[in-house]
Amino acid sequence: MVKDARAPGFREKWRQDVPVLYDWFFNHHLMWPSLSCRWGPVRAEHGAYSEQYAYISEQTDGTAPNTLLLANVAVAECDAVAPALLADFEEDDPTALVGVVKAVHHPGEVNRIRELPQFPQILATHTDGKDVFIWNMESQDDRRTPAPHTTGDAADKPSVPDLVLRGHTDVAQFALATAASDPFVLSGGTDCHVVLWGLQDHVSKASTDDSSELAAPVLHCRETFTGHRATVEDVQFSPTDARLFCSVGDDYCLLLWDTRHGTTPVNKVERAHNADVHCVDWSRLDDSYVLTGSADHSVRLFDRRKLPTAGHCAAVHSFKLHSDAVTCVQWHPSARGVFGSAGDDGLIQVTDASHLLGAAGDKAGGGAAQGRQSNMFQHLGHREKVCEFHWNPHRPWTVISTSIDSGRIGGGTLQVWRMHDYLYLPEDEALKKIEGMLGSTLSK
């Protein structure tokens, strides 16, 4: 049954169940709302815990600079934490498990953060403007405290990005992606365009001749792609071929592109959903499959090999997982057929769709156990709409997520969590694990 995390009583019941449902969980109050969060590289290993970087945005009210944060986050190993400790948290307090190590003053709100997989210290960001900003978080100055002899407006002045990507003719707020194998950046905007840059071009083509308030080098786009009739809400590269990508938008469409075939789409699903399409993701473990999420509350699965040459929705399946708009979908990085979805209902749903992926589903791919129900897990930890979540590429099943409101004192909520492994292990292994847990409890 579809639930809403904002409904009375749900969170209270969820909190009681935290020690049973989760292997790792913590709640961190943010002073300001955060619209985007991403995992960075692992920093250090400490036996039962590891330290890992995360990138977090801060959306202020104008009295302080908008910031892009580099934080050090504690991630516990499996079975390393006593279950009773997981429910012992204060919802309106920060935790020592998150420590900010660098702050960059961002020119405008940080709506999206995307890291370059080849260089995870390099970030691309979207704001409420036409340009995309590139940041090297290793070399950027830490702006948590003003530089010596810096006061007033100078102390709040935005940091200078390492590169400005230019190509949109109107505001581009959210649609942003980076390629898995090449330093390519893709963006979509209210100009209905999808724009492509190759960061390697900056060596020969970047210039400071353009008028830039930030005095940063400017790189113009490689190509502009046209085909949408309304705002482009999300874009995603193929995980296996950077020449292929897809996009979704407020025209209800899913478009597929191939740079070898010009600047118009090679395939178009005219009515992928019955409302604005907010998000899209392309499976890393089987590149035939694409997920979309929409304001119509549904998540849909498409097989790009079976799309109509010109027609309406040809989804393999439509999932009714949310009671409000779906704002984020993401395939699990190592479990074939498993995906997460988040929405304005405050829920993050974990779903096993492996039984829908055809014959390839018989291959071992780290997916969820055979015979499990599609709806694997519901994360009810957020009190308001979930802005974004990100599967940890280095720690399977570990998630970082943010919501825009943190209850009565405002700000935002950052949570790091991992559902207990007996929920996704093969059935025989899960039963052994549960028996061991019960035996340990009864022997005390």
List Cβ neighbours of 344 (8 Å cut-off, separation of 6 or more).
Answer: 322, 324, 325, 327, 385, 386
Q: What is the pTM of this model?
A: 0.91
Contact predicate 35/59, CB 8 Å: yes
Q: How many domains does the chain have?
A: 1
List Cβ neighbours of 289 (8 Å cut-off, separation of 6 or more).
Answer: 282, 283, 301, 302, 303, 304, 316, 357
Terminal C-alpha separation, the chain: 37
Judge whether 5 lies within some domain.
no
- φ/ψ (deg, to 5) at 426: -55, 150
pLDDT band at 92 (very low <50, low <70, confident <90, very high): confident
The CATH code of the domain that includes 35 is 2.130.10.10
Q: What is the mean pLDDT of the chain?
A: 90
The arithmetic mean of pLDDT across residues 35-43, rounded, is: 97
The arithmetic mean of pLDDT across residues 408-416, rounded, is: 89
37: pLDDT strictly greater than 70? yes
The arithmetic mean of pLDDT across residues 215-237, rounded, is: 97
pLDDT at 365: 36
pLDDT at 331: 98
Which of 285, 275, 197 has the alpha carbon at shortest distance from 235? 197
Judge whether 266 lies within some domain.
yes
Judge whether 287 lies within some domain.
yes
Tell me the pLDDT tens digit for each residue of 189-206: 999 999 999 999 987 665
Judge whether 250 lies within some domain.
yes
Tell me the pLDDT tens digit for each residue of 355-392: 999 754 444 333 444 444 589 999 999 989 999 999 99
pLDDT at 370: 45
pLDDT at 434: 75
Contact predicate 177/245, CB 8 Å: yes
416: pLDDT strictly greater than 80? yes
pLDDT at 276: 99
Listed range (11-20, 64-73, 424-433) with the worst mean pLDDT: 424-433
Taking the C-alpha atoms of residue 348 and residue 381, their distance in angstroms, rounded to an integer, is 9
**Containing structural domain, residue 318:** 10-442
149: pLDDT strictly greater than 90? no
Tell me the pLDDT tens digit for each residue of 304-335: 999 876 667 789 999 999 999 999 999 999 99
CA dihedral of 262, 263, 268, 270, whole degrees rounded to 10: -150
Taking the C-alpha atoms of residue 178 and residue 91, their distance in angstroms, rounded to an integer, is 34
43: pLDDT strictly greater than 60? yes
98: pLDDT strictly greater than 50? yes
- For strands 218-220 and 67-76, give the pairing: unpaired
Judge whether 1 lies within some domain.
no
